[in-house]
Copies of this chain bind each other. A is one copy, B any other.
Amino acid sequence: LPIITMTTDFGEGPFAGLMKGVIWGINPEARIVDLTHKVPPQDVRAGALVLEQARKVFEPGSIHLAVVDPGVGSERRAICARALGMYFVGPDNGLFTQALDLDPECEVRLLLNKAFFRKEISNTFHGRDIFAPVAAHLAGGADFRELGPVVKDPVLLDWPRPFQKDARLAGCILCEDSFGNLVSNLDQDTVETFLKGRTGLVSMAGLVLRGISKNYSDTSPGGIVALFNSTGYLELAVNRGNLRKKLGLDSSRIYGVPVSVSAFNSKH
């Protein structure tokens, strides 16, 4: 039976548990995994970044239920996307940008078929009343095409892509993880193709790091390293510390900080 993952900004209250009650009321066999309920409130991009990690780990057929939904009850659409062999259920606000970008065969359906909803639909908690029951029905084998008509123009976030500029590969920070490590949009393939075996020089916020490390402990405790993290993205970190705090950066100001890679032997 497929897995349903949950990604929300519900924090510490009972909302996520209430959604599980709805899922199990429809599909008592469903296996449910909490990815996180601590997406910063209403931060759609942060939610999208969680899903970007999830799509690399979960099996085909998994159902990713994501509710970061500042527009709940407004005109924003409710959708289910089928992409990369998985399903993504939630509001049409860009949460699924990366999967939709990566899969040219993706298909998006508008959630219109009330047979898959709870009987009464509140204006403020579509997670419980629409998204959870749709995910539960999909996990039980419901036909994706019966959810509703095709959506041709799902909302997509601007997703910053690395680009080459002069002798640099330019990217930016996307987010921090729970250890205060700063994660960029520079993926290992792109960086290694650019470096062609040369030693990399990583620059961010005044820091210049020579070489890309294998491990946090390639430097002594308190030292700063750049390495490819477990999702394959270039990340800057303090060995046994919190880089964001060390740099005095506010969490809300991480996104978009420029990061670049150049080759040590090139001019810089």
Q: Name A residues whose Cβ lies closer than 8 Å to a Cβ of B.
A: 1, 3, 5, 7, 10-18, 20-22, 24-25, 28, 31, 33-36, 38, 41-42, 50, 53-54, 57-59, 62, 70-74, 122-125, 128-129, 177-179, 214-217, 227-230, 235, 240, 242
Contacts and interface: CB of A to CB of B under 8 A. Distances in A.
Given A14-B7, A14-B54, A74 B217 contact: yes
B35 A24 contact: no
Given A12-B36, A122-B230, A123-B227, 15 more contacts: A1-B28, A14-B36, A14-B53, A14-B54, A15-B177, A18-B53, A21-B33, A24-B59, A25-B58, A41-B242, A70-B240, A72-B217, A74-B215, A74-B217, A124-B216
Nearest to A221: B70
B31 A5 contact: no
Contacts of A12: 36, 38, 178
Nearest 9 CB-CB pairings of A with B: A73-B215, A125-B230, A11-B178, A12-B38, A74-B217, A17-B35, A14-B35, A122-B230, A13-B178
A71 B36 contact: no
Contacts of A22: 57
Given A31-B24, A33-B24, A128-B230, A13 B38 contact: yes
A17 B36 contact: yes
A240 B59 CA distance: 34
Contacts of A14: 7, 35-36, 50, 53-54
A53 B16 CA distance: 12
Contacts of A53: 14, 18
Contacts of A72: 215-217
Contact of A124 (B57, B62, B227): B227
A44 to B, nearest CB: 11
A158 to B, nearest CB: 19
B59 A25 contact: yes
B123 A215 contact: yes
Contacts of A25: 58-59
A6 to B, nearest CB: 8
A124 B213 CA distance: 11
Contacts of A13: 36, 38, 50, 177-178
B230 A10 contact: no
Contacts of A35: 14, 17-18
